[in-house]
Structure 1
Amino acid sequence: MARLGATLLFSHGLGFCKETWEPVIRRLKRSPMLQREVAAYVTYDQPFHGTNRDESVPAEVYYKDGNPNSPRVRHVMNDWVGVTSEAAYEQVQRLNAAAKGGPRGPLIGIGHSLGAAALWATEARHPGTFDGLILFEPVVGESDEVYEKNVDFMVATTLARETKWCVSRSPYT
């Protein structure tokens, strides 16, 4: 019986979208070593990213301990591990449903940053989901003084960004 090719499931980092993997996938598809080894390359958008953007879910700005130099945002994505690992698991369930219970090759999760943490958490919550994981710079949620100062800076910088642009186009076209 012929061996079934692997499915590579790509999960992007915070603030990015599934298209960030396109250059990587193009190179992998051209690799002679992978021609017969990979059956499918799959990407998806994390919740509140790319095609899953949802502005109907409100966010609330507040200041940690009342300090105007420590802005924070309350949003469903504050539980980023739970939200993104659930999204990754749902994507795997869709892949399994598409296979209609038939045989499939190995499922390899490939993630960067938030995407890596999402895949890692998915495997921890649902052991055996993946046959392998390739994780680049997975985010871990340890909190200390340096972390808090970084959060202050990142949230303040993000809140200062423009939210609308006159032209919407993909940088990949």
Structure 2
Amino acid sequence: MLGAPDVPWTIRGHERRFRALGLVRVRHVAVDYRANTVNLYFRTSRKITQDDSERFVSVANGKPPGPSVFSDMAKFTPPDGYTFSVTMAVDNGDIQRVGFYALKLPTGQFPAIGQRLATFFRSAPSRDDEEMNAVAWSFGPAGNDYIKAERGYCGRLVALMKSWNSPMTGTS
């Protein structure tokens, strides 16, 4: 993907670094034109480890997850890999954040998410055939970290993610 025509050199220049981390395939890409950023989404091929989380977070000059956060990450990401994202500025290639995704949380089970996100999961409707609740632990420079929540609304998101062979925790 990074070698595809018209991928800016500011993005392409990170390929060797990503390969050294074992991140060899970009699964999909999201672009925020207003913020002039791009998110690259990789599929890892094994269970998350503390060492991997530290190496991956260092890409964004972040602080590694503490014990309780890492415990949740290990519990809610699948044993055969997980989705990992890198957010970077298009104009200069600066890596701004990284994220670790737990897709399709088991029904009624959540990591430590706080009241605001718990309210989101309780109140946001889902009209999809199969429920998709997801969280991502996001790490930025100097401890600028947060957890975000996502919930499928419609469009057969679980089926789509399965067709992409995306790692999901609570698959049925």
Bin the TM-score by the shorter chain.
under 0.3
Structure index of larger Rg: 1
Give the helix-richer structure, 1 or 2. 1
| Greater relative contact order (CA < 8 Å, ≥ 6 in sequence) | 1
TM-score by length of 2: 0.25
Give the strand-richer structure, 1 or 2. 2
